[in-house]
Structure 1
């Protein structure tokens, strides 16, 4: 009888354990680290590689139907930050993006790249003006919808709104870069 009760308690305990946290990792960008030259832009006077980082994620929440990835600089001197990369409608079956996927060639079928704040549907690396380092917030969001159904001309703010409106969970890596 004690064995059955102990098993029932153990099973009940296991069933109430929280799900593992949704996680984002990158071999190219570390939490709190300075961005490598590869993730620095090659426009606006910067001379980096302009290569999007490799990304891996795990433990998406139940009900995930797609993902979105964004790279945002909240410190840009614009009054509204700067969207460096916006990728959405990433299939729920995906668990990674390879380095360089920001050129659009290695994205999963059906994935959409929104226009960054320079007007390009591509990855744009860091290129802050001279002064203090800026933060670059790389976020993956698990979405409850398979597609965001946005026009190709949607702004970063509109895409960000739709991502948040359909979010189940998100995970971030925040890096810095300054000149």
Structure 2
């Protein structure tokens, strides 16, 4: 039985001690302090992991026609398991950062644009779920990466999942 310190987990130094996502990570930030992707750190990646993939969603997004439908704000694939996290403001900067970051690919969010995009909220209290998947093989989703394509491709290849929920 693994104890808590051994479990595959996801954390963020950017989320405050109350579990809140600060404004600068959303569309409500000001100027350059707006739509910055939050820093993420992970621990205890499962043995045998070849690549990591991340999906971040607003799980309290209301659908005008009825039930809550998760709204995808970030999809990231091809994260080398040797990395310990993604720095603040990583979205859109892979090529500048180079090295282990260079082959990471950002997929399209539900705004149909690649990268991190956190909407301006009509109300507060939305939960944002960050889910990191440890995968046993590399995945090639072609040119256009989406959450749906990712989830289909990783079926049967997930060695572990780490989840972090922040409240906005």
Residue of structure 1 in register with 2:161 after alignment: 170
Residues 96-107 of structure 1 correspond to what in structure 2 (within 5 A)? 96-105=85-94, 106=97
Secondary structure at 1:84 match in 2: strand
Between the aligned partners of 1:34 and 1:18, the Cα distance in structure 2 is 29
**Deviations 1:75-108 (Å, cap 9, x if unpaired)?**
2123532110000111121111110011233471
Residue of structure 2 in register with 1:37 after alignment: 23
Secondary structure at 2:91 match in 1: helix
Residue of structure 2 in register with 1:74 after alignment: 59
Larger Rg: 1
CA RMSD in angstroms comes to 2.2
User: For this pair of structures, how many residues does the alignment match?
Assistant: 155
User: Higher helix share goes to which structure?
Assistant: 1
> How far did residue 126 of structure 1 move?
4.0
Query: Given the two structures, how large is their TM-score scaled by the length of structure 1?
Result: 0.76
Between the aligned partners of 1:60 and 1:125, the Cα distance in structure 2 is 27
In structure 2, list runs of 5 or more residues that go unmatched: none
Between the aligned partners of 1:52 and 1:164, the Cα distance in structure 2 is 27
Query: Given the two structures, how large is their TM-score scaled by the length of structure 2?
Result: 0.81
